[in-house]
A = this chain, B = another copy of it.
């Protein structure tokens, strides 16, 4: 059975990933003989996102790739002809077939630059028809890339330099490509790694991840660990019965922690044992499937101690619910206790990872509290940019044939400043940047040095 394919965009189709009105306008330009007039558009945003004062400019690399490939196929033009009015002169499509971006000049900030409102992030010069046709795709490539990179940078600023940040938002992104973009630009924004395997392959981003609740819940009894043998790290012959070894450690751990052994979940122990057998060098498991303190942590400690007996060092735990800061402190205390009581140095280096619908706000609260967290996984609020899910970049015509152009608008803030501009970064006499709320640019047409402050006051 062939029912087609998942509707991800094919790179060859990008020139049609465009608003129809770009083509009707292109025809208007062509019909009035103005299609080759020299035009300049600026791509900018009017306000920094998330009530902040900066944005990381991203999407330049994709833009360059898009421009290099910008060309219409016969099939594209055939479809266009079918949706434009029949009155459109067929020679227009012959002309479009010859169009590419070879005459376009792009001036932009470097990828990842810190940028401010109303600065031209990109200045796009070229034949009027071509630079008009680029608008939607350029906005599409820059808007979300810059927004999510900025969001990631804000999470990084809140978390501080020492926490390890994992992006894990694929399942909540706007479809397959939204997820891929999110992983790429969160990495640029300051995250350390992603859960997204394809992003790892495509962009060389470190990938991370171990085990979900479903894995733990899939086990109900220790009978389900079918192959219970684990070979010691030294590689010596003969496997050890790892389940029995873990069970014997569990009794000791429960005694130390004064937990009734029957409170621990045997399915969870089975899951941990099986996972340790599969990944003896990478044992990090989620500990809140049933009860963190009454089951997850004692089961984890037992398996970590059994691993140590065989010469392996456990990696850590992940928490996905409850009061993450408080639990991390309590868990660290238990690790210290186990490490001392059982002479287990591995307990000194264990990692505590957390996740649970973390937002910038909850991360702020979390990092203000006492906590012993090493790794933070962020998904939904990172990739969907809940606080402000759109950057709102626009692409405005500023001059044609070296003559400035203005749009006035009924809404004052939507009016544009005419003419080509140059962006300056100003420093005070101590060599410090002027405050980010006062970026400056120079209007080539009016000769005025403008600042956002000046403009908005």
Contact = CB atoms under 8 A, between A and B. Distances in A.
Interface in A345-396: 356, 380, 383-386, 388-393, 395-396
Contacts of A321: 409-411, 414
A9 interface: yes
A27 interface: yes
A240 interface: no
B278 A226 contact: no
Nearest to A273: B32
Contacts of A207: 20, 83
Interface in A320-342: 320-323, 327
A31 interface: yes
27 contacts: A3-B68, A8-B8, A9-B180, A17-B198, A19-B168, A19-B196, A19-B197, A21-B210, A23-B197, A24-B210, A25-B214, A25-B215, A29-B215, A34-B218, A34-B224, A37-B218, A85-B282, A87-B282, A88-B278, A137-B176, A140-B173, A144-B172, A145-B175, A174-B178, A213-B407, A289-B407, A384-B390
A8 B177 contact: yes
Contacts of A80: 197
B218 A405 contact: yes
A226 B397 CA distance: 21
A200 interface: yes
Contacts of A384: 389-390
A450 interface: no
A116 interface: no
Max chain B CB contacts within 10 Å: which of A85, A140, A271? A140
A87 B436 CA distance: 50
Contacts of A408: 289-291
Chain A interface size, as a band, is 35 or more
A109 to B, nearest CB: 18
A403 B220 contact: yes
Interface string A254-283: 000000000000000001001101111110
A132 B218 CA distance: 10
Contacts of A406: 217
A98 to B, nearest CB: 19
B68 A20 contact: no
Interface stretch (A59-67, A155-163, A421-429, A438-446): A59-67
Nearest to A319: B410
A278 B84 CA distance: 11
Given A174-B181, A321-B410, A321-B411, 6 more contacts: A17-B197, A19-B196, A22-B212, A140-B173, A289-B407, A289-B408
A405 B220 contact: yes
B16 A198 contact: yes
B390 A16 contact: no
A433 interface: no
Contact of A322 (B211, B327, B411): B411
B17 A179 contact: yes
A80 B197 CA distance: 8
A65 B3 contact: yes
B141 A68 contact: no
A33 interface: yes
Contacts of A69: 5-6
Contact of A175 (B10, B181, B217): B181
Contacts of A31: 227, 274, 277-278
Interface string A28-46: 1101111001010100000
A279 B390 contact: no
A136 B21 contact: no
A448 interface: no
A99 interface: no
